[in-house]
A and B are shown apart, each in its own frame.
Chain A
Amino acid sequence: MDAVIENLPVFLEGFKNTLGLLIFSGIGALILGVIVAALRISPVASFRGFATVYTEIVRNTPLTLVLFFCAFLLPYLQFSPPFFVLALIGLTVYTSPFVAEALRSGINGVPVGQAEAARSVGLTFGQSLSYVIMPQAVRMVIPPLINVFIALTKNTSVAGAFFVFELFGAGRQVTNDRGDEVIAILLAVAFFYLVITVTLGQIASRVEKKVAVLR
């Protein structure tokens, strides 16, 4: 137990970086995901095709491979910001198709009658999306979106293997120093992860209940 208390600053430093990775790549993935989702429902066929191919390729590539590309091959191609930024890029790209899929399933969850009604009173594509479909879809989309962010939280641990000092990296370093208290140290790391994931999960289930009442 004292190994944990001694190294509390190390854990807190790692926790801070994990939160940083989560927030920044979360925002990035949200922006990129909205763009991809918009391309996927656009009337222009080539945009749809491009977005579909992008989604399929990125989500079938292991995260480890994506981060490996960012950490080793981007610097090799003479693009070398700090590793934290490289990990952010990797996590953003990797998470964006999942965000796009969540958004798309939310849009699909809106009853077709709503769209038909919007169209039949004469709203255009853009108007019916922004006034009728999206306000409803956004509510339905929040719980699956939070699930994506929970997965992202867990995925930030992979960045720890590619030179970013976050929770997993902190755990690895401390276990190297104090091999005698491995269980306590790893449980402490687990506790910090659970703080994020369980909180997000509670929010998701609460929102889900609210939405269920609305419908």
Chain B
Amino acid sequence: MSSVLYDAPGPKARTRSRIISVVGIVLLAGVLVWLVLAMGAPKASANGAVQPGLWDPTRWDVFTDVQVWRSLGGGVLATLQMAGAAAVIALVLGVVFCFGRAAQHAAIRIPSTIILEFVRGLPVLLMMLFILLVFATGAYWAGVLGLGIYNGAIIGEALRAGIQSLPRGQREAGLAIGLTPLATRFRIEFPQAFRQMLPIIIAQLVVLLKDTSLAFIVGYSELLRVGVKNLPDFFGNRYAFSFFLVVLAIYLAMNLSLSWFARFIARRSGPKSGKLVAPAPTLTPQDTLASTRGSYSTGDAGGVGSV
């Protein structure tokens, strides 16, 4: 789909755009090649000893060792385990927070609002440290609880925004057929809000998976600690860069596939599902990699509600 911001390019403009494209790609590839070569060049350190370049086989031979892959796999498992446990806690807490904040009694609503604002304004890392030091839970539970509480608050906000955005008639209809206010919320409003907010919730779970790397700092042996700390410490620092690249690749593979899944869900059950309307036209071209609504890491899933 072409954008309304500029004319459909004619033959001249197409040629020009193609030339700029080619020049741009060549420039970019040139910079990349230069970077790769520069990193690959052997370099002399101050005392005259020459170190092999970063692409030298002696820096990569460690990856033929099965033990290395086994420890990396262990790191991935530890990361996924933490993310899974934290996701369950975050979902449960999100529902609790959502009901607490939308409650009718001020005695429930006001404290939960204060707790929510408090939790959302703090770094996850600080919460992990707090749990680690105050409750002496060990690194695993500090990470799980920190991530769970923080993301629970954000999911709760998202769900509340979902409930608020429902048409008023839904609640009125529920009350009119004689359901209690609580039953209306549970059986009429909440299921719709949850469905509507599912893409945002999954985007937040991607953020959660990414943020498990923070547990590195409180000392939990997940993928990052295993990959860039333990293994290079064991095999020697000259492998540090190779390990870094491999860990980066593993993280990208995990996160990109989960984001892709989030986008798939968003397309299937987004707010527009079930209606025969074309997606609203937008000003920028639709690209295949278009991302789901902003998922700021260690932040909020989009600008839902106000802080």
Contacts and interface: CB of A to CB of B under 8 A. Distances in A.
Given A60-B210, A72-B240, A190-B122, A46 B21 contact: yes
Instruction: Bin the interface of chain A by size.
Output: 35 or more
Interface stretch (B158-166, B174-182, B193-201, B248-256): B248-256
15 contacts: A46-B22, A46-B28, A59-B295, A62-B210, A63-B297, A64-B213, A65-B224, A98-B299, A105-B294, A151-B300, A156-B123, A182-B133, A186-B134, A190-B118, A193-B123
A34 B252 CA distance: 24
Contacts of A175: 129, 133
Contacts of A108: 282-284
Interface of B: 3-7, 9, 13, 17, 20-22, 24-25, 28, 39, 43, 117-118, 120-126, 129-130, 133-134, 206, 210-214, 216-217, 224, 228, 237, 240-241, 244, 247-248, 251-252, 255-256, 259, 281-285, 287, 289, 291, 293-300, 302-303, 306-307
Contacts of B307: 147, 150, 197-198, 200-202, 204-205
Contact of A45 (B21, B130, B216, B282): B21
Interface stretch (A8-16, A81-89, A111-119): A111-119
A101 B291 contact: yes
Contact of B303 (A53, A143, A168, A190): A143
Contacts of B281: 112
A68 B28 contact: no
Given A76-B241, A102-B294, A144-B303, 6 more contacts: A65-B251, A72-B228, A76-B240, A112-B281, A151-B299, A155-B297
B241 to A, nearest CB: 6
A96 interface: no
A44 B24 contact: yes
Given A112-B281, A147-B296, A57 B252 contact: yes
A138 interface: no
A92 interface: no
A155 B123 CA distance: 7
Interface of A: 40-41, 43-48, 50, 52-53, 55-57, 59-65, 68-69, 72-73, 76-78, 94, 98, 101-102, 104-105, 107-108, 110, 112, 115-116, 119, 125, 128-129, 133, 143-144, 147-148, 150-151, 154-158, 160-161, 168, 171-172, 175, 182-183, 186, 189-190, 193-194, 197-198, 200-202, 204-205, 208
A197 B17 contact: no
Given A41-B284, A60-B251, A68 B224 contact: yes
B17 to A, nearest CB: 5
A104 B284 contact: yes
Contacts of A102: 294
B284 A107 contact: yes
A202 to B, nearest CB: 8
- Most chain B beta-carbon neighbours within 10 Å: one of A61, A110, A119, A156: A61
A63 B207 CA distance: 11
A173 to B, nearest CB: 12
A158 B245 CA distance: 21
A60 B259 contact: yes
A47 B21 CA distance: 7
A147 B120 CA distance: 11
